[in-house]
């Protein structure tokens, strides 16, 4: 119910009426390594639909930083997941968030951001910060709802992803999510 209340308060920053489901969370976080000590950044975690899946994949290793603009979501997420470094900040300021933690880059960035609610300039700013934060081996995942995939904001997002990454793979439809969604797996950020 708190997710819906936050949507009503700020639909352009929450972007959905219900949180993502477990099947979408599993698909979006599949790139989080199960070995080593990766730095994983989660953008727009909201109520934590992807947070638990990331934590399970990390199993106490590495670092998990969650960047959430909504202070109520951030506070609740920090309460539920004390092992996660929850930051109340704008995703476009990712470089500052990493620098403040003595980091230059992230191995994986997982996004739960409401891209369809963003202007093209906003999409540009956030994606620029993501691609700048990833090393050559870095991976970025985000998702889109199937029903909105052909809408102008979704098409603009896919164009932007393809201009910033050498490889953008689109998953099969995650039918078990409400609404059905697909995941974009973006690898090898362009350094042009």
pLDDT higher than 70, residue 16: no
| 149, two tokens | 């995939």
Asked whether the beta carbons of 20 and 177 are under 8 A apart, the reply is yes
Alpha carbons 63 and 93: distance in angstroms, whole number: 18
Model confidence pLDDT, tens digit, residues 52-74 = 999 999 999 999 999 999 999 99
**pLDDT more than 90, % of the chain:** 73
Alpha carbons 93 and 37: distance in angstroms, whole number: 23
Q: What does the DSSP assignment read for 131-173?
A: HHH--TT-EEEEEEEGGGTTSHHHHHHHHHHHHHEEEEEEPPP
Q: Report the pLDDT value the prediction gives residue 119, as an integer from 0 to 100.
A: 86
Q: Report the pLDDT value the prediction gives residue 13, as an integer from 0 to 100.
A: 41
pLDDT higher than 90, residue 3: no
Asked whether the beta carbons of 184 and 170 are under 8 A apart, the reply is yes
**pLDDT more than 70, % of the chain:** 89
């Amino acid at each position: 119910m708190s997710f819906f209340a936050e949507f009503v308060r700020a639909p352009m920053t929450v972007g959905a009426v219900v949180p993502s489901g477990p099947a979408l969370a599993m698909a979006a976080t599949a790139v989080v390594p199960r070995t080593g000590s990766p730095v994983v950044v989660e953008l727009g975690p909201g109520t934590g639909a992807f947070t638990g899946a990331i934590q399970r994949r990390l199993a106490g290793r590495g670092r998990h930083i969650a960047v959430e603009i909504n202070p109520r979501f951030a506070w609740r997420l920090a309460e539920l997941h004390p092992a996660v470094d929850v930051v109340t900040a704008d995703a476009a300021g990712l470089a500052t968030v990493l620098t403040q933690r003595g980091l230059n880059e992230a191995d994986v960035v997982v996004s739960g951001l409401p891209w369809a609610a963003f202007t093209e300039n906003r999409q540009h700013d956030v994606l620029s910060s993501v691609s700048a934060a990833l090393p050559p081996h870095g991976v970025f995942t985000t998702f889109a709802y199937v029903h909105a995939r052909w809408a102008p904001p979704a098409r603009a997002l896919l164009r932007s992803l393809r201009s910033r990454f050498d490889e953008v793979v689109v998953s099969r439809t995650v039918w078990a999510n409400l609404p059905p969604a697909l995941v974009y797996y973006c690898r090898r950020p362009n350094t042009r």
